[in-house]
Amino acid sequence: MSSFKLKILLLGGAAVGKASLVQRFIKNRFAANYKLTVGVDISSKDVEYRPGEIATLSIWDVGGQQRFEFIRSTFYKGTAGALLVFDLTRKETYAEVKNWLTELKHFAGETIPFILIGNNADLVEDGGGVIDREEVRKFAENEGGLYIETSSKKGEHVDESFIELARRIIDSR
């Protein structure tokens, strides 16, 4: 049985739900109270990315504040892939995520596997969306990634996002 250890980054602006996604994925729980990630929080979890095949994900939740930018470049070292997260209810966070993708490709390589995550899908189910989701999907595909909408509150598509990223990383090797 092959086993991979993969370092993945969670990137995106402040308060888009990166920490909530990790909590949901690792502990299957949702914390409504928001706590600022200073620098980076690191967690790990084993995932079965194909029947009988396990990968250990080392998940680096990188603080989205601009003032941490100078230390961020070091986090990219050894990165296998990334989840780029924006908040479906805040249009500016989608614009920010494009900058994160540029930074990721600059430090980790043009062909780094990534998944673009539109988080808080539960808040836009009634059509209250401010984001053109078709444009987002096309953008992700044009950049070599995949677009998935998640809800860390309801747990929708959270596990799939991490597992699909692991699969893409391993397939790209």
Is residue 8 within 8 Å of residue 78, measured between CB atoms? no
pLDDT value of residue 111: 96
Strands across the sheet containing 114-119? 40-50, 53-62, 3-11, 81-87, 114-119, 146-149
pLDDT value of residue 128: 59
Q: Phi, psi (5° rounding) for residue 83?
A: -105, 120
pLDDT value of residue 70: 66
List of domains in the chain: 3-171 (3.40.50.300)
pLDDT value of residue 38: 66
pLDDT value of residue 160: 97
pLDDT value of residue 74: 81
* CA-CA-CA-CA torsion sign (169, 50, 22, 125): positive
For the chain, which residues score pLDDT lower than 70?
Answer: 1-2, 32-39, 65-71, 126-129
**Whose structure tokens read 């989205």?**
64
Beta-bridged to residue 83, according to DSSP, are 10, 115
pLDDT value of residue 129: 67
